[in-house]
Structure 1
Amino acid sequence: MTADPAPLVDPRTYVDGVPYDLLAALRETGPLVWVEEPPLLGSPGGPGFWLVLRHADVTDVLRQPRLFSSWLGATQVRDPATPDDLRYVRRMMLNMDPPEHGRLRRPVARSFTPRAVAALEASIRANAVRLVERVLGDADEGTCDFARDLAADLPLLTLADVLGVPESDRWLLYDWSNRVIGFQDPDYAVSAAFDPRSGTAAAREALRHRPVPGPDGRMPDPRTRAGMADLYTYAHLLAGSKRRGPGQDVMSILLGRDGDDRLSVEEFENMFWLFAVAGNETVRNGLPGAMVALLEHPAQMRRLRREPGLYDTAVDELLRWWTPVMVFRRTATADTVVAGVPVRAGDKVVVSFSSANRDERVFADPDRLDLARHPNPHLVFGHGPHFCLGAHLARCQLRALFEALLARTSSITYAGTPTYLRSAFQRGVKRLPIHWRR
Structure 2
Amino acid sequence: MTSEDRGAGAAGVDVFDPNLYARGVPHDAYRRLRDEDPVHWQEEYEVGGWPAGPGFWAVTRHADVVRVLRGPDEYSSWIGATQIRDPDPADLPFIRRMMLNLDPPEHGRLRRIAAKVFTPRRVERFAADVERHARLLVDGIAERGECDLPADVTDEYPIQNLADLLGIPEQDRGRILGWTNRVIGYQDPDHGGDVPRGPDGAPVNPRSPAMLADMFEYAHTLAAARRRDPADDLMTALATAEVDGRRLTDPELSMFFFLLVIAGNDTVRSGLPGGVMALLDHPDQHRRLLDHPELLDSAIDEMLRWHPPVLSFRRTAARDTVLAGRPIATGDKVVVFHASANRDERRFPDPERFDIARRPNDHVAFGDGPHVCLGAHFARLQLRIFYREFLWRLPDLEPAGPPARLVSNFIAGIKHLPVRYTPVPRSDVR
Q: TM-score with structure 1 length normalisation? A: 0.90
**Amino acid corresponding to residue 246 of structure 2 in structure 1:** D
Whether contact under 8 Å (1:107, 1:253) holds in the other structure is no
Aligned to 2:5: none
Q: CA deviation at 1:432?
A: 0.9
Task: Provide the identity percentage.
Answer: 51
Aligned to 2:133: 127
Aligned to 2:97: 91
- Number of equivalent positions: 415
Aligned to 2:55: 48
Structure 1 or 2: more helix by fraction: 1
Aligned to 1:346: 331
**Amino acid corresponding to residue 307 of structure 1 in structure 2:** H
Aligned to 1:434: 419
Aligned to 2:215: 231
Whether contact under 8 Å (2:38, 2:61) holds in the other structure is yes
Rounded Cα–Cα distance in structure 2 between residues aligned with 1:278 and 1:150: 19
Whether contact under 8 Å (1:219, 1:227) holds in the other structure is no
Aligned to 1:309: 294
> Displaced runs of 4+ in structure 1, greater than 6 A?
211-219
Whether contact under 8 Å (1:112, 1:392) holds in the other structure is no
Whether contact under 8 Å (1:331, 1:349) holds in the other structure is yes
Structure 1 residues not aligned, in runs of 5+: 192-210
**Structure 2 counterpart of 1:70, from 49, 71, 77:** 77
Deviates most, 69-78 or 3-12: 3-12
Deviations 1:121-164 (A, max 9, x none): 2221222112111221xx3x511110122111111111112222
Aligned to 1:208: none
SS at match of 1:411: coil
Rounded Cα–Cα distance in structure 2 between residues aligned with 1:428 and 1:268: 27
CA 1:255 to 1:113, structure 2 compared with 1: closer, same or farther past 3 Å?
Answer: closer
Whether contact under 8 Å (2:27, 2:340) holds in the other structure is yes
SS at match of 1:280: helix
Whether contact under 8 Å (1:305, 1:406) holds in the other structure is yes
Deviations 1:269-327 (A, max 9, x none): 11111111111011100001011101111111111111100102001101110011011
CA 1:115 to 1:242, structure 2 compared with 1: closer, same or farther past 3 Å?
Answer: closer
Q: CA deviation at 1:218?
A: 10
**Structure 2 counterpart of 1:106, from 105, 112, 136:** 112
CA 1:45 to 1:212, structure 2 compared with 1: closer, same or farther past 3 Å?
Answer: closer
**Amino acid corresponding to residue 255 of structure 2 in structure 1:** N
**Amino acid corresponding to residue 140 of structure 2 in structure 1:** R
**Structure 2 counterpart of 1:266, from 229, 247, 251:** 251
Structure 2 residues not aligned, in runs of 5+: 1-7, 425-430
Deviations 1:418-438 (A, max 9, x none): 111001111101111111114
CA 1:168 to 1:304, structure 2 compared with 1: closer, same or farther past 3 Å?
Answer: farther
Whether contact under 8 Å (1:71, 1:97) holds in the other structure is yes
Deviations 1:7-49 (A, max 9, x none): 3111111111011011001100032111111122111111111
Whether contact under 8 Å (1:110, 1:116) holds in the other structure is no
**Structure 2 counterpart of 1:276, from 244, 249, 261:** 261
Rounded Cα–Cα distance in structure 2 between residues aligned with 1:121 and 1:300: 27
| 1:275-424 correspondence runs (5 A) | 275-424=260-409
Whether contact under 8 Å (2:9, 2:37) holds in the other structure is no
Aligned to 1:30: 37
- Indicate the RMSD between aligned Cα atoms, in angstroms: 2.2
**Amino acid corresponding to residue 121 of structure 1 in structure 2:** A
Q: TM-score with structure 2 length normalisation? A: 0.92
Aligned to 2:3: none
- The answer as to 2:44 corresponding to 1:60 is no
SS at match of 1:424: coil
Rounded Cα–Cα distance in structure 2 between residues aligned with 1:79 and 1:410: 45
Aligned to 1:142: 145
**Structure 1 counterpart of 2:186, from 180, 183, 199:** 183
Q: CA deviation at 1:165?
A: 1.0
Whether contact under 8 Å (1:52, 1:58) holds in the other structure is yes
Whether contact under 8 Å (2:40, 2:57) holds in the other structure is yes
Rounded Cα–Cα distance in structure 1 between residues aligned with 2:87 and 2:54: 13
Deviates most, 300-309 or 113-122: 113-122
Q: CA deviation at 1:60?
A: 0.9
Rounded Cα–Cα distance in structure 1 between residues aligned with 2:169 and 2:202: 30
Aligned to 1:207: none
